[in-house]
């Protein structure tokens, strides 16, 4: 990470699908705002039950981008807990030995399924957070896609493991209700761009110490995602926690 103290930590960005690189506009935005980007790759072509070669290739692309942008990127290792041994090997390769500082779960196995537990046990040993995709879709979730209630089930089984629930859980009112009492669950602000009042409501529900800035860029415009927090009707100290301090604490940074 940069020797210059950051002003923003974005807990949730991705490499571009297809090209598997950091989007130039995102690089420019991060440099302008002294932001550190916690980045993962879901692969060149997204698949709903990624086999080992898929997530290994995705992590290889991220390692290359981390080397190219050491002042901007902190990597989150992408795994699919359905493939236990391959996921454990990848955690050792990318987190223990490769400099990544967190783990990315997307789809594959719902977090309420104990099949994820051997992988989460290793994550607990490594002492890094999980960025856990969660969504509640009125039209039905993807195969193996977790809902906020699945995040809550995982958090109860592993209270020592910090989990960032992505996208406010999709339906942010339902999402917050599911994880409100779980101190090891943090909520990222990513999701739809038409969510006036969501940041204020989530801060009020779980507290300003458990909300972190996540843009989900490049799928979501980074400046719009940032503006959703800067324009929220919360105090200055709360904004500083959401944009910087909470995620710094999760990552074990001063």
Q: What are the tens digits of pLDDT across the range 82-138? A: 999 999 999 999 999 999 999 999 999 999 999 999 999 999 999 999 999 998 776
Residues 98, 128: contact at Cβ < 8 Å? no
Residue 142 has pLDDT above 90, yes or no: no
Is-above-0.85 flag for pTM? yes
pLDDT, tens digit (0-9, with 9 covering 90-100), for 154-201: 999 999 999 999 987 567 778 788 999 999 999 999 876 656 788 999
Nearest 10 degrees: CA dihedral of 65, 69, 74, 78?
-10
Structural domain boundaries in the chain: 8-250
pLDDT for the residue 2: 52
Place of tokens 């290739």: 57
Here the tokens at position 134 are 């969660």
Q: Hey, what CATH class is 8-250 in?
A: alpha beta
pLDDT, tens digit (0-9, with 9 covering 90-100), for 192-235: 665 678 899 999 999 999 999 999 999 899 999 999 999 999 99
């Amino acid at each position: 990470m940069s020797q210059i103290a950051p002003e923003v930590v974005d807990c949730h960005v991705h490499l571009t699908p297809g090209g598997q690189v950091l989007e130039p506009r995102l690089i420019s935005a991060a440099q302008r705002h002294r932001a550190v980007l916690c980045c993962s790759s879901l692969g060149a072509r997204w698949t709903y039950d990624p086999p080992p070669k898929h997530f290994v290739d995705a992590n290889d692309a991220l390692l290359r981008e981390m080397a190219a942008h050491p002042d901007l990127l902190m990597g989150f290792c992408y795994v699919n807990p359905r493939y236990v041994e391959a996921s454990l090997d990848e955690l050792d390769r990318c987190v223990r030995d490769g400099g990544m500082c967190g783990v990315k779960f997307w789809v594959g196995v719902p977090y309420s399924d104990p099949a994820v537990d051997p992988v989460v046990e290793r994550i607990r040993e490594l002492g890094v957070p999980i960025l856990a995709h969660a969504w509640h879709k009125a039209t039905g979730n993807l195969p193996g896609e977790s809902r906020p209630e699945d995040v809550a089930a995982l958090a109860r089984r592993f209270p020592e493991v910090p989990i960032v629930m992505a996208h406010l859980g999709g339906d942010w009112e339902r999402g917050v209700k599911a994880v409100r009492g779980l101190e090891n669950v943090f909520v990222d602000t990513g999701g739809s761009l038409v969510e006036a009042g969501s940041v204020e409501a989530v801060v009020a529900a779980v507290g300003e110490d458990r909300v972190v800035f996540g843009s989900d860029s490049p799928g979501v415009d980074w400046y719009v995602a940032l503006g959703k927090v800067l324009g929220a009707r919360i105090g200055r100290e709360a904004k500083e926690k959401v944009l910087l301090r909470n995620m710094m604490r999760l990552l074990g940074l001063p």
